[in-house]
Amino acid sequence: MCGQCGALNQVPESAAGTKLPCTTCGAILDIPAAYTPTVANDGGLPTAPKPPEPAPAPVPPPGLNLAALNPQPIPAAPVSTESGTFTLRLNPLWLDWVPAAAVTLAFLCTFFFWFGSYPGGTRVYAQNPWLALIGDMSVSPLPEKLIDDEKEIEANLRGNRWLIAYIPLMFAALGLFWVERFLKNPTPTTVPGPLAWLPGIWPQRYAVLTGLALLLFLLLSIQTWRGYGVEHAIQMRVNKLYAEEESQADTTPKRQMVTVKKGRDMAKYALEGTTPLEVALFAQGLAFAAMAGRWWLHRRGNKPLPAITFHV
């Protein structure tokens, strides 16, 4: 390559080590000499030159403490690789008692109010399942002017059809769940005469009790969803108050106005379910879930108990 104009010049091998003018600009070019490789006498590669000796480290002046100027790094604390495990195993020893205990809890909740009118947090009208079953309600001892609609509401009370099935079945379930806990392998000779049918269905007790627990949960859920007697009685009273005005409402705005008035009257009663009702619903659902779990474990036979293992 010409150093003046940058043109590439091709020259013959015989011009190695000579000077020739650039074919483009005429500048004199120094042609590099030819490379002649050499081979060592022993047939090996030429020995590489020895690297130069490193220069000796400078001597520190007297009194200089290099260790203090260059402290050694503190080694990091070793990281523990050990881990622990925690296993949660489904134990039938306690699971067997859950359905009976849950049904008992639901039964105890029936002696408390489940639904009622609580304006300002004060109970005015309320029902427990026993009162709702026979179409009655409890009335708070308030001044007469605050409960002037009591007679009309009582006249509208009706029994709750779903409780008619729920209450007798609860008594049956309460007895069967506890009998199943304490009675082991009954035979016609070991049970009283009224229970002579029990040994025949004993092998299917898990399926029977699971179905009974599910039926109780469904009956109570449907009754709660449909509403209790005091709610329907108050709704009937409000509908009666606005029946004439509603029949005369011939336009959409007028019908909407009647709907708003009825909603305001219903809202002043502050109808709501109580904590015992929520506990009873939970207990019935728990009884079904636990009984289904017992049935599942029974069908597994001698297989290992299911477990969940947590690694920490």
Residue 2, domain member (yes or no): no
Give the torsion sign (CA, 157, 161, 163, 164).
positive
Residue 32, domain member (yes or no): no
Measured CA to CA, the distance from residue 256 to residue 224 in angstroms comes to 28
Cβ-in-10-Å burial (0-12, 13-18, 19+) of 282 comes to: middle
Per-residue confidence in pLDDT tens, the chain, 312 aa: 887 887 888 888 888 888 888 888 878 888 888 777 666 555 555 566 666 777 776 666 666 555 555 555 555 555 555 567 777 777 778 889 999 999 999 999 999 999 999 999 999 999 999 999 999 999 998 888 788 889 999 999 999 989 999 999 999 999 999 988 988 887 877 777 777 877 888 889 999 999 999 999 999 999 999 999 999 999 999 999 999 999 999 999 999 999 999 999 999 999 999 999 999 999 999 999 999 999 998 888 888 877 788 777
pLDDT value, residue 59: 66
pLDDT digits (tens, 9 = 90+) for 29-52: 888 887 776 665 555 555 666 667
Backbone conformation region of residue 276, classed left if phi is above 0, alpha if psi is from -120 to 50, else beta: alpha
Residue 258, domain member (yes or no): no
Domain that holds residue 302: 92-228+271-307
Q: Which two tokens stand for residue 72?
A: 């050694």
Reported pTM: 0.67
Residues of 101-130 as b/e, b for ≥16 C-beta within 10 angstroms?
Answer: bbbbbbbebbeebbbbbbeeeeebbbbbbe
Residue 196, domain member (yes or no): yes
Residue 275, domain member (yes or no): yes
Residue 136, domain member (yes or no): yes
pLDDT value, residue 170: 95
Number of domains in the chain: 1
Residue 172, domain member (yes or no): yes
Residue 124, domain member (yes or no): yes
DSSP string across 30-56:
EPPPPP-----TTSSPPPPPPPPPPPP
